[in-house]
Amino acid sequence: MGLKTGAGGEKRWWWNRNVIMVLWVMLSVGFCIGLHCHMRTESMRKAEETLTSMCEERARMLQEQFAVSVNHVHALAILVSTFHYQKSPPALDQETFADYTASTAFERPLLNGVAYAQRVVHAERQLFENQQGWMIKTMKRDPSPVQDEYAPVIYSQETVSYIEALDMMSGEEDRENILRARATGKAVLTRPFRLLESNHLGVVLTFPVYLLDLPDDATAEERVRATAGYLGGAFDVESLVENLLRQLAGNQEIMVNVYDVTNASEPLIMYGTNPPDDHMLLSHVSMLDFGDPFRKHQMKCRYREKPPVSLSSITTPSGIFVICMLVGYIGYAAWSHYDNVKEDFRKMEELKKQAEAADVAKSQFLATVSHEIRTPMNGVLGMLDMLLDTNLNLTQKDYAQTAQVCGRALISLINEVLDRAKIEAGKLEIESVPFDLRSILDDVISLFSAKSREKGIELAVYVSERVPSILMGDPGRFRQIITNLVGNSVKFTERGHVFVQVHLVEHVNMAMNATAETGLNGHVNEVNKKSATTVFNTLSGLEVADSRNTCESFKLLLSHGASLSCTFGGGSVPESIADKVTLMVSVEDTGIGIPVHAQDRVFTPFMQADSSTSRNYGGTGIGLSISKCLVELMGGKINFISQPHVGSTFMFTAVLQKCGKSAGVDTKRSLSEVLPTCFRGMRVTLVDRRAVRAAVTKYHLQRLGIIIEDVSTVNEVLCALSGQNDCLNSSQPGKQPSILLIEKDSWDPKVDVHIQNQLLEYKEAGRIQVVPKVVLLLTIESDKTRAGSHVDAIIVKPLRASTIATCFQQMLGMGKCQNKDTLSGSTSLRGLLDGKNILVVDDNKVNLRVAAAALKKYGAKVVCVESGKSALSLLQPPHKFDACFMDVQMPEMDGFEATRQIRLMENKANEEAPLEEGSVKAKWRLPILAMTADVIQATHEECVKCGMDGYVSKPFEEAQLYQAVARFVVSQPIPDS
């Protein structure tokens, strides 16, 4: 990892991220060192420029001050020439010269003193000495030896009075300087020497003094002849430079040296100390012009200390190096992350392949497990069905029915586990077919009717009249959700009721705006404490978890449903509302409720409230998890409200579609439960003191076309029949009830005879034409014995429209009245299979016997074979069979391959069949239904792919068998027996 492969498959070593990181560090270090050197060079260059500027400034100022002093000496020379030689008698003497030079010394701060030396030739020496009163002396103060001419000092400033009478030409160099000065007429400087008294290094400036003014172009001979003397001034160079540097800023930073470089090979230092030879500090040399073209001077400046390295030349490269390292680290980390991601991706690809292989293995495992479990269960349940069709005594029948219930419970558990597996694999699909919602709810209620009667609890269902009769959706999954929720409610409820309601979401939302808000998913507002004897206006009179489900809420739902219907009925309906229907389904119970600590994990698979739940009530804890997934697949949501020891209310929404008009009445007839029409217009009076329960009873009666009037007590019925004022108008002709439906809690056995006598009296008095039949509604089967002798019929709840119709038919002696829409032909399974030739193919002999017995039960003629090859031989066109039930998993040739071979034979026969004149070419296509215990989606897809027409899972159920066969087999009328 980290290496890149070249075109030839060889790894490029330089593409290794560690090598590139090392190169990056080296480049960063090199760049930062180069930047440091560059910045340091720039810093030294600026220091050198600063030194040059400072040195040039000092040299310029020194030259200027020296020039000023030279001018003053020159002026003094003119003064001597004017007042000493051009005046007669001379106006200048020693005292006057000393006083004047002392008073004007401030104008010559660089001069230690000035003196005037007169030119004396040897012939005039004696006279001169006599006039002066002293002898001419050498610089060593010895009598001057004989020479051509002398230059003794006659006037001097008081500061240099010690040089009076000294011959300035006694020294060889001094003599040359004087001779050069008078020949050029310009100031002449001596070489540096130690000044007397001060012992400082200094130079002497000499100006010639002429007897008269000379022109600028005078010759040297003319200047020599006109020379009267020499004016000299002693410059203390050290003091001069010290004073100058003291006046300038930066004096402490640099060192200044002044040299006389007339002899370049041996420069003479005039100020400062010579640095050591190995001194490598920065320096600058500035040339000095003191007015003497013969002598050359220069100023050399240097820093006292080596200029420090600038902070920026350290911090900037360091910062850049840190940035480079951070960039390198980020790049290295990104590269490493990229490599890790690639490696993770590679591992994920491998894991994906493993997961796909595991998924295939899981699907195969599910298919195998489903087949291996359901196949023997098919035999068990089939044989139990056959056993129950024989003559059994009560004990034997009870044992067989118990075994059958247990077997179906096991099949249900297997289906739930397989459904959960399909949901996790994302292979569960929701179909969209027309179905009758009310028939499904009636079927679910009848499924739990025995349990509810045993427990003595109210089990009821109510569907709003605004909910369409036929909807498009998945009836099987909708039934599964309702079955799971109702099953849980019945299981955990020992008293009270279980109430299923179905409304349109629009109605519920409008009604809820008028009720107090309460929390969802177990989070409820604080509940006021109520006594155990408090009666609530609910289905059973007990408190419910969702306080919105009361009689008042019920009335609001009904009123809002009517108003919404009127709103849409007068104009155009929005397309979204016209196409889709969103239902709100609630399942309310007064059971044990869900503990608060367990409410967060209600929808977690295989989780229950606590360990005692499974022990006391049974179950696996998977039903609610599957229901939640199914609701979400239907585009809805599920939630609940629960209070411990009060009950629970589960609510879910489902988005379904309205059945199109093209389906017409035929769809409604085929899918809806066939209810008799002979009760339409019949009048029934319902006695029920609970409004919610009365509304449920009215819902079932209205489905039969019965007109209902409801009252609270029996006395109100008697009052109405007697024709008293302020009572019902039931005494009017044509409006008298044919049946009195009385709830158990409104019935008093003590007044049983009294009611019957009252009704007979009313008939004899002509107040009623016919004594209405009395029907008592009970919840518990055992209460029949205490009903009384004058009750015409008893209906044990839960109520269904079909059970009410059967009871009324028997009580009124109407016989079995059929719906006129169904008189043309029976839709029963016997009508479909009677006289049909069916081929059953299965390698399991027990399954063959079960399938054959199930089909023969409905009048089919069955032929059984045990292999796919045997089926091929019997299904060679032409043949006599109307349908084939084909097992999927068989040795030698499975059901898929057998179906493919059958379809090939049919296609070949269809191509070779001759077309007779005036006839339509016949086509062979036998309906083949897969008959297998595999219930996974993959098996169903394979069935469709190989040419099968349908799917029947083992064990057979009448409803499933009917749905599969009805699409391919034409029903035949059943002759009256």
| Encoded tokens for 68 | 């000023």
The CATH 1.10.287.130 domain(s) of the chain lie at 317-331+354-425
Is the pLDDT higher at 195 or at 48?
Answer: 48
Residue 606 has pLDDT above 70, yes or no: no
Is the pLDDT higher at 245 or at 525?
Answer: 245
Dist CA 114 CA 136 (whole Å): 19
The values of phi and psi at residue 775, to 5°, are -120, 125
In sequence order, what E strands does 405-479 have? 433-436, 458-463, 470-473
CATH number at 62-303: 3.30.450.350
Q: Which of 628, 580, 586, 582 is nearest to 604 (CA)?
A: 628
Mean pLDDT in residue range 13-40: 86
| Encoded tokens for 599 | 């409410």
pLDDT of residue 580: 86
Is the pLDDT higher at 197 or at 697?
Answer: 697
pLDDT of residue 576: 43
Q: What is the pLDDT of residues 541-588, one digit of tens each?
A: 898 988 776 667 766 776 655 554 444 344 444 444 567 899 999 999
Q: What is the pLDDT of residues 817-826, one digit of tens each?
A: 544 443 333 3
Dist CA 177 CA 171 (whole Å): 10
Q: Which of 133-142, 395-404, 666-675 has the highest mean pLDDT?
A: 133-142
pLDDT of residue 951: 78
634: which residues sit within 8 A by CB, 6+ positions away?
430, 473, 474, 477, 478, 654, 655, 656
| Amino acid letter, residue 937 | Q
The answer to whether 740 and 712 have CB atoms below 8 angstroms apart is: no
Residue 461 has pLDDT above 90, yes or no: yes
Q: What is the pLDDT of residues 313-369, one digit of tens each?
A: 889 999 999 999 999 899 889 988 998 999 999 999 999 888 888 877 776 777 677
The residue behind tokens 């009384």 is 788
Report, in angstroms and rounded to the nearest whole number, the Rg of the chain calculated over CA atoms: 65
Task: Output the CA torsion sign for 891, 896, 897, 899.
Answer: positive
pLDDT of residue 3: 46
pLDDT of residue 4: 45
Mean pLDDT in residue range 594-601: 86
The CATH 3.40.50.2300 domain(s) of the chain lie at 683-724+735-812, 837-913+922-969
Q: Is 141 left (phi over 0), alpha (psi -120 to 50) or beta?
A: left
Dist CA 289 CA 67 (whole Å): 9
Is CATH 3.40.50.300 the right assignment for the domain spanning 683-724+735-812? no
Look up the CATH superfamily of 837-913+922-969.
Response regulator (3.40.50.2300)
pLDDT of residue 847: 82
Q: Is the pTM of this model over 0.85?
A: no
The helix or strand, by DSSP H or E, that contains position 149, with its residue range, turns out to be strand 149-150
| Amino acid letter, residue 698 | K
Dist CA 883 CA 878 (whole Å): 14
Q: What is the pLDDT of residues 179-193, one digit of tens each?
A: 888 888 888 888 888
**pLDDT tier, 922 (very low <50, low <70, confident <90, very high otherwise):** low
Q: Which of 775, 766, 817 is nearest to 796 (CA)?
A: 775
pLDDT of residue 938: 52
pLDDT of residue 30: 92
pLDDT of residue 153: 92
Residue 258 has pLDDT above 70, yes or no: yes
Q: What is the pLDDT of residues 466-496, one digit of tens each?
A: 899 899 998 888 988 999 999 999 999 999 9
Query: How crowded is residue 969: how many other Cβ atoms within 10 Å of its Cβ?
Result: 17
Mean pLDDT in residue range 734-762: 77
Mean pLDDT in residue range 874-897: 88
173: which residues sit within 8 A by CB, 6+ positions away?
190, 191
Residue 528 has pLDDT above 50, yes or no: no
Dist CA 891 CA 866 (whole Å): 10
Dist CA 551 CA 596 (whole Å): 27
| Amino acid letter, residue 41 | T
Is the pLDDT higher at 213 or at 206?
Answer: 206
426: which residues sit within 8 A by CB, 6+ positions away?
none
Residue 9 has pLDDT above 60, yes or no: no
Mean pLDDT in residue range 964-977: 58
| Amino acid letter, residue 566 | C
The CATH 3.30.450.350 domain(s) of the chain lie at 62-303
Q: What is the pLDDT of residues 97-156, one digit of tens each?
A: 899 988 988 888 778 889 999 999 999 999 998 988 899 998 888 898 999 899 999 999
164: which residues sit within 8 A by CB, 6+ positions away?
94, 115, 134, 153, 154, 156
Residue 794 has pLDDT above 80, yes or no: yes
Q: What is the pLDDT of residues 751-786, one digit of tens each?
A: 666 777 777 777 777 777 777 888 888 888 777 776
Mean pLDDT in residue range 443-449: 86
pLDDT of residue 920: 52
Mean pLDDT in residue range 64-85: 86
Is the pLDDT higher at 833 or at 56?
Answer: 56
849: which residues sit within 8 A by CB, 6+ positions away?
382, 383
373: which residues sit within 8 A by CB, 6+ positions away?
414, 933
Q: Which of 498, 557, 547 is nearest to 693 (CA)?
A: 498
Residue 625 has pLDDT above 70, yes or no: yes
Q: How far is CA 2 from CA 17, 342, 344, 414, 776, in A?
A: 6, 10, 14, 51, 87
The CATH 3.30.565.10 domain(s) of the chain lie at 433-514+538-556+579-608+620-660
Topology annotation, domain 317-331+354-425: Helix Hairpins (1.10.287)
Is CATH 3.30.565.10 the right assignment for the domain spanning 433-514+538-556+579-608+620-660? yes
Query: Please, what is the average pLDDT of the chain?
Result: 80
pLDDT of residue 582: 92
